Amino acid sequence: MLQFTEIEAAAARLKGVAHRTPVVSSRTLDELLGMQVLMKAENLQRMGAFKFRGGYNSVNVLSDEERSRGVVAFSSGNHAQAVALAARLHGCAATIVMPHDAPALKLAATRGYGAEVIVYDRYKEDRAEIATRLTQERGASLIPPYDHLPVMAGQGTAALELIEDAGPLDALIVCAGGGGFLSGCAVAAKHLLPGIAVFGAEPERGNDMQQSLRSGQLVHIDVPRTICDGQQTQSPGKHPFEVIRALVTDVLTVPDPVVVEAMRFVFERMKLVLEPSGACALAALMHHRERFRGQRVGVTLSGGNIGIDRFVALVTGTERVD
């Protein structure tokens, strides 16, 4: 199981490379929800999301010989960009397997970082099988998006920084896809604040993590139909779930329209742009506010990679969300 020492080591590797993103707050939000909310603005991280932490750490721990053979990753977008950028910073080749319907901004950014992008149909093809075949053919190293200890350790540095900068918290809410971010943050938070309650957050239509945690075993679902494209996972990763089952209190789900409300609030009141998955943890807090009244709550704003046209369509209601 992931250890706190691995997160500390990842923090040392990331120092001076990753941004130490700010912890932001809003008096209006605190008054609205009846609590103090401290938000880790990972939308301001390099490549626009927390994923840079795990991607860079995973490439950095490889040997020079391994990096010379390149890396392969599969992702709906943010891990793709993270690994592509990390590979470029280390001078190695990257091949990224991405769904053909991934946001155009994320496809373009991944290619812009110098990666070769191979697209697939997420509803008909298995991305892990495609990536595994590529690693075998090319002798490259596979860097999965969440079921990988170096990724989990890198992601956990966000919670480490949040607690160092914000001080004691009663609860922490982290968006959950495959569980790499949630598990890494849970290990860091529970080590630094043993009494903290850690929660995951995911869209109602993609509640594989909630079902898995509550049943005590991995649950597999169909590809979720949700605006939260970064959370269209079908089942948690095995390594993250080991941590989550041990350390996470519960997983909160949120309807897509509430995610849009959170995106709109943060833009209007805090002048920050979030993609849907990046707003999921805050949306979950808004949706389940009664559970946290009077508490001091940490929240991850996990990413801001969304095109202007899609963002405007969502927050103005031009694109219908139900």
DSSP string, 164-215: HHH---SEEEEE-SSSHHHHHHHHHHHHH-TT-EEEEEEEGGG-HHHHHHHH
Q: Could you say which of 147, 178, 302, 303 is catalytic? A: 302
76 is catalytic: yes
Domains of the chain in start order, with CATH, are 4-49+148-316 (3.40.50.1100), 52-142 (3.40.50.1100)
- Here the tokens at position 142 are 């596979």
- Distance between CA 7 and CA 188 in Å, rounded? 7
Write the CA distances from 167 to 86, 160, 190, 192, 300, integer angstroms: 30, 10, 13, 10, 15
pTM score of the predicted model: 0.96
Q: Could you say which of 58, 75, 76, 141 is catalytic? A: 76
302 is catalytic: yes
250 is catalytic: no
- Distance between CA 306 and CA 314 in Å, rounded? 11
Q: Could you say which of 42, 147, 208, 229 is catalytic? A: 208
As a whole number of Å, the end-to-end CA separation of the chain is: 38
Taken as a whole, the chain contains a residue count of 322
137 is catalytic: no
Q: Could you say which of 40, 51, 106, 190 is catalytic? A: 51
Using an 8 Å Cβ cutoff, are 156 and 149 in contact?
Answer: no
For the chain, 322 residues long, give each residue's pLDDT as a single digit of tens. Answer: 999 999 999 999 999 999 999 999 999 999 999 999 999 999 999 999 999 999 999 999 999 999 999 999 999 789 999 999 999 999 999 999 999 998 888 999 999 999 999 999 988 999 999 999 999 999 999 999 999 999 999 999 999 999 999 999 999 999 999 999 999 999 999 999 999 999 999 999 999 999 999 999 999 999 999 999 999 999 999 999 999 999 999 999 999 999 999 999 999 999 999 999 999 999 999 999 999 999 999 999 999 999 999 999 999 999 999 9
Q: Could you say which of 70, 177, 178, 206 is catalytic? A: 206
Based on its alpha-carbon atoms, the radius of gyration of the chain, rounded to whole angstroms, reads 18
Can you give the pLDDT at residue 123? 86
